[in-house]
Structure 1
């Protein structure tokens, strides 16, 4: 590599889930935060087999999938690093990670194993439970499987949450308050995922905490308190300005603030995470109940992680630079 060659960084957005639009916003915000003194950032948008390189919102080339490169003005440009900002498949579930492992291209997120484990809520819950991580009781239903709504309610009580098992998002989630609505909620979740999870309702406030490991050092971000104006934190609450009140750092007594950060750190390590990860919880009384691990969390200007990084007195630019430098140096 010549001295004047800045590493080419692909900021990857899009994907094949319902969160395509949000991912595109995350990608634009990350692209803006890449330090152009050190790196040459390019936006790569993926949807299905269409992988395209964009500059100033114009498509300039197709990606050559055989070596993750593109050609412009007869010059072949090979990407040195992949910064993945796809929420859902194929960027959050291990599929892209495996592709980059095959091509020996360093990337920003958890590895194949950790990404696929955390993406599948059922696997992740059952993996974490023996380590003493508290969480709601749940059942899993495969698409088309017959089920008895009465029996489910008898076991888990009402209300219950019905959600897609594998989905990078808040799509397809229903809070069910009566037996007669269970069937429709399960079918709605099946539209998003091959499997539906039916979970006991934990009544409490939602908190979310980010973390990153750079080099040997792990940084746990300040916690955000999430107060939806809707009944729960659904897609609308997540992405409609004003639909949710978000307070960073969360108004928690010091011992609980610490407890949540320590739990975030423990889950990050247990799931062998890498890069920026965000973990969601419900606080009931003094106990934090684990909800899920997001391994490519939202990175739009108003998302939780950028809020937490600002509250910490750092910048997205600084954290992203450190992640890229660290992983390029491995």
Structure 2
């Protein structure tokens, strides 16, 4: 099994980015705070190396006042999870008239909710797993689906709170209230059939000629499955980039990722995560979710795929900012533009 995909270089078709004052919004109080801090610091350092003025803002409840005082040309939104990824911060920035990176309010509201994402994407012919939303109390009475199945929070990212319930799991049958799991933290969970096989992901980057998929990476955890710890602990997961899968499966992944990016109205960059059961061929490929604000840490997948395609980390960061400014009439190429505050 191999992917004969030829490496395509990502070329910058925009003029050089003017020197800007950029506020990097990071941290916050979600479960993904540590990841966001790493993403934000990486972005800030790359921008400073390229001559931009950077104001680092660790998200707290005074964020609006701090942004007003800083008065940046644009905000790089490096937040992950609520409230930086669910439309809350996007709405605030819209009201303040400050351009910002990544997706806008409506897209963020839909994409962070896995059930809403299904409702938006399945009608476009993008295959996603079945399943249903269950209240945690239901789990302790009977299984919502035949085992094995997956339980995940409806509106969290980075595989936070994901559990795989198998016939031989130590969760009990039915699931015990006393056993540690996402049912202790989240009131509602999405139950989906477990799809065996390969964990695949595709980065999509917006550009002047429209969004394009970069490549496909396969994620191979050293043990267990690709959960939060496997994502962000060095050495716990092997990234096979590009994935060694048939070319037609790689092309299908990239096609679905671009379709999802467009259908949801994503901006800047997105990352689509898939599971593929190779015994089922094309029928075994399912989109799991679309991340509208993928990580930008040293272990993150979007920078890794961009590098494979010939785009340095700093170029990637500037391309995301240029996209935000192009959509809002901001200052991108040295000329001052009228700032509209509309994004996504």
Considering fraction of residues, name the structure with more strand: 1
Task: Output the CA distance in 2 between the equivalents of 1:150 and 1:114.
Answer: 34
Which residue is 1:292 aligned to?
289
Q: Tell me the CA shift for residue 142 of structure 1.
A: 3.6
| Residue of structure 1 in register with 2:300 after alignment | 303
1:7 is displaced (CA, Å) by 2.5
- Larger deviation, residues 87-96 vs 186-195: 186-195
Q: How many residues align?
A: 302
> Does 2:177 correspond to 1:200?
no
* Structure 2: runs of 5 or more not aligned: 1-17, 330-344
- Asked if the contact 2:201–2:218 (Cα under 8 Å) also holds between the matched residues in 1, the reply is yes
**Aligned position for 1:159:** 148
Q: CA deviation at 1:276?
A: 1.1
1:281 corresponding residue in structure 2: 274
* 1:172–1:232 Cα change, 3 Å: same
Question: Could you say which structure has the greater relative contact order, defined with CA pairs below 8 angstroms and 6 or more residues apart?
Answer: 2
Distance 1:185 1:128, change over 3 A: farther
Contact 1:162 1:185 in 2 (8 A): no
Counterpart contact for 2:200–2:273, Cα < 8 Å:
yes
1:269 alignment counterpart? 262
1:130-209 paired onto structure 2 within 5 Å: 130-142=123-135, 145-146=137-138, 149-150=141-142, 152=144, 156-178=145-167, 180=173, 182-184=175-177, 188-209=181-202
Q: Give the TM-score normalised by structure 2.
A: 0.81
- More deviation in 227-236 or 306-315? 227-236
Output the CA distance in 1 between the equivalents of 2:93 and 2:184: 29
1:294 is displaced (CA, Å) by 0.7
Per-residue Cα deviation, 1:162-218 (whole angstroms, up to 9, x for no partner): 111111232211111146153549983244444211111111100000001123432
**Match 1:85 to one of 78, 81, 88:** 78
Answer whether contact 2:206 2:323 (CA < 8 A) is retained.
no
Looking at structure 1, the residues matched to 273 and 185 of structure 2 have their Cα atoms a distance apart, in angstroms, of 20
Helix, strand or coil: the match of 2:276?
A: strand
The structural deviation recorded for 1:277 is: 0.6
Cα distance in 1, alignment partners of residues 178 and 246 from structure 2: 37
Contact 2:122 2:128 in 1 (8 A): yes
Identify which of 30, 37, 45 aligns with 2:58: 45
SS in 1 for 2:127: coil
Normalised to the residue count of structure 1, the TM-score between the two structures is 0.85
Matched residue, 1:121: 114
Is 1:239 equivalent to 2:232 in the alignment? yes
Partner in structure 1 of residue 336 of structure 2: none
Q: Is the 8 A contact 1:172 1:191 kept in 2?
A: no
Structure 1: stretches of 5+ with no match in the other structure: 52-62, 71-76
Q: Is the 8 A contact 1:298 1:305 kept in 2?
A: yes
Q: Kindly tell me: are residues 245 and 151 of structure 1, through their superposed partners in 2, closer, same or farther at Cα, counting changes over 3 Å?
A: closer
Does structure 2 retain, via aligned residues, the 8 Å contact 1:166–1:193? no
Residue 64 of structure 1: aligned partner: 65
Judged with a 3 Å threshold, the aligned counterparts in structure 2 of structure 1 residues 151 and 314 are, in CA distance, closer, same or farther, namely: closer
Report the secondary structure of 1:140's partner residue: strand
Cα displacement (A) at 1:151? 5.3
CA root-mean-square deviation: 2.2
